[in-house]
Structure 1
Amino acid sequence: MDQEIVDSVQQWLRDVVVGLNLCPFARKPMRAGQIRYKVSEARDDESLMAELLEEFRLLDNTPVEELETTLLIVPQHLQEFADFNQFLDLAEWLIERQEYTGIYQLATFHPDYQFAGTRPDDAENLTNRTPYPILHLLREASLARALENYPDPESIPANNIRRVEGLSEEQKRLLFPYLFC
């Protein structure tokens, strides 16, 4: 079961994130095998917090050349987007409490992701919609280096919105089959 979950997330990463170039920095660590895909066993916030801390500590103790980033996939908890959003307050508290501010940050993804000020069916929400809830643990130093070498990083969100808005219904069904079940 875990392998099926990882496979679906890897396909999303390959076809959507890299394939549509939603994150211009994802291709390199993906090709280098520097992404950890960890399937969470958590069924409650406390267990997920413990797993999140464990993943931060693994990043602490693993050279960036071996492990750039972690995708903590949460298939059994936080299925409702409102619950997921509430959990993010706890996750940010953990980052502050463990003195990881400026070292790590989270990018977040969910099957029902909805940006503030959008309607549920707005295409721009597709940029953060995944097969499962995901907490993406990023090394801030790596992100800063990548942004330094990227021309006009401020244009990334607008470019992403244009890309997903330009998808046909057939393309959306192919890229996001988990949204059309």
Structure 2
Amino acid sequence: MADAPFSSAQAIADTRRWLERAVIGLNLCPFAKAVHVRGQVHFAVSASDDVPGVIESLDAEITDLLALEPAVRDTTLLVVPNGFDEFLLFHDLVRQGERLLARRKLAGVLQLASFHPAFVFAGANEDDMANFSNRAPWPTLHLLREESMDRAVAAFPDAELIYEANIRTLERLGREGWLALGARRS
């Protein structure tokens, strides 16, 4: 996928639609619906197309997230629509983001998850439906509060089975079903 001009509003709309239709609609993350319904998911866009600029945006989003109570903002999705369509470049960006969390001594406070439109599990075929559990319309960095995740996992029986359930759901859905969701870039 080549980088194309974007609008921040469109990148957020695409990401929100993916969250609602795929992540919540398919129940890929059983914890997402509650925070979304309560308005505790913050959507942001980094206009930067290089690692230092995106890390600066991520650093600001970390500060903003920690400044608010979880009841106000529990999680942040930072969409990165410029310069990171190449998965390996994005993977390096994610590693830099994890280093930022370590430098800020936020292990056990925040964790960084990531989603990418070209995500492929190691050893998997590109078209394997399991890959779609980690695909979003735009490269996306997801900041999660560890404390909130711990509470959600404790309240969810057999949380370790979510991944397997996601694979079954995505395989039943198939590529045609995924495309019908409309959970990709517009």
With the shorter chain as reference, the TM-score category is over 0.9
Aligned to 1:13: 19
Query: Which of the numbers 109, 122, 137 marks the counterpart of 1:103?
Result: 109
Count of equivalent residues: 180
RMSD of the alignment, in Å? 1.4
2:123 aligned with 1:117, yes or no?
yes
> Which whole-Å CA distance do the structure 1 matches of 2:8 and 2:101 have between them?
27
Aligned to 1:162: 168
Aligned to 1:82: 88
Structure 1 stretches of 4+ with a deviation exceeding 4 A read none
Percent of aligned pairs with the same residue?
Answer: 38
C-alpha deviation, 1:177, in angstroms: 5.8
Matches within 5 A, 1:16-55: 16-55=22-61
3-state secondary structure, aligned to 2:184: helix
Structure 2: which 5+ runs fail to align? 1-6
The higher relative CO (CA closer than 8 Å, separation ≥ 6) is in 2
TM-score normalized with structure 1 length: 0.95
Aligned to 2:146: 140
Aligned to 2:177: 171
> Which whole-Å CA distance do the structure 1 matches of 2:103 and 2:177 have between them?
43
> Which whole-Å CA distance do the structure 2 matches of 1:81 and 1:51 have between them?
19
Instruction: Please give the per-residue CA displacement for 1:76-119, whole angstroms capped at 9, x wherever unaligned.
Output: 12110011111222111111111011110011100001111211
3-state secondary structure, aligned to 2:102: helix
C-alpha deviation, 1:174, in angstroms: 1.2
TM-score normalized with structure 2 length: 0.93
Structure 1: which 5+ runs fail to align? none
3-state secondary structure, aligned to 1:106: strand
Query: Which of the numbers 54, 63, 67 marks the counterpart of 1:57?
Result: 63
Instruction: Please give the per-residue CA displacement for 1:112-143, whole angstroms capped at 9, x wherever unaligned.
Output: 01111211111100111111000000000000
